[in-house]
A = this chain, B = another copy of it.
Amino acid sequence: MKNIKLLIEYDGSRYKGWQRLKDSDMTIQGKIESVLTELFSRPIEIIGSGRTDAGVHARGQVANFTVKTEKSLLEIHKYLNHYLPQDIVVKEVSEAPERFHSQYNVKKKKYVYCIWNHWIPSAFNRKYSYNVPEHLNIELMEEAANLLIGTHDFIGFSSVKKSNKSTVRTIEEISFIKEDKVLKIVFVGDGFLHNMVRIIVGTLLEIGLKEKKVSYINEIFESKTRSIAGKTAPAQGLFLEEVTY
């Protein structure tokens, strides 16, 4: 048995997200599994580093699967890119150690949220950013972001229902890159709860627009309630950039 690791890029615009669904074949996982199932003439299931929601993009999603095969990695790689839809691209195919698991072995994830911050929108970035026409006070956003760094219970910044699973996560970095009309917010952490990045972005935007104060962050931490935080920023601005093992 070989343990094959895939590095995957996708334009999530047309898809219902990463996770395979019974009643739709418009998922990234589903598309990749059908091509692999065709290639190996037996059902193949892949394990992703984690889900991405409908409309979210990836430049560095990781998945793995095990298979008994004589086919070369290059052969698998070429077959995948030949038969996958053009908005899903496999960037690397490699052989991983037997025990490698794309989900359980994640050490860090990097997400980038892309904001088109100008009153004139962009014809080319419209599917890959969220258009915020108003002026943003980035200093205030940075100040608020600093309160989020570290180990906290992020349940107030997530769509997670109360359960026995821990909602404590560590955010190592939140940085802001302003390039002309684009503001990129980079998140690095050991893991992110469902919708966590997008809710944090929505919250930071309210602070950047001066609708809320920096201390709003602490109120959300204390309340532990989703309804207090800012609205979920739209999916099309979010990219899963890198997964580290």
> Which of A's residues lie within 8 Å of B, judged by CB?
9-11, 57, 81, 86-91, 120-124, 126, 128
Q: How many copies of the shown chain assemble into the complex? A: 2
Residues of B within 8 A of A90 (CB): 120
Specify the main secondary structure of chain A where it touches its partner. loop
Q: Is the CB of B123 within 8 A of A88?
A: yes
Minimum C-beta distance from A69 to chain B (A): 21
> What 10 A-B pairs are tightest by C-beta distance, nearest first?
A89-B123, A9-B123, A11-B123, A86-B126, A87-B123, A10-B123, A89-B121, A11-B124, A91-B120, A88-B123
List the B side residues contacting A11 at CB < 8 Å. Answer: 123-124, 126
Do B9 and A89 have beta carbons less than 8 Å apart? Answer: no
Minimum C-beta distance from A152 to chain B (A): 33
Q: How far is the CB of A114 from chain B (nearest CB, A)?
A: 11
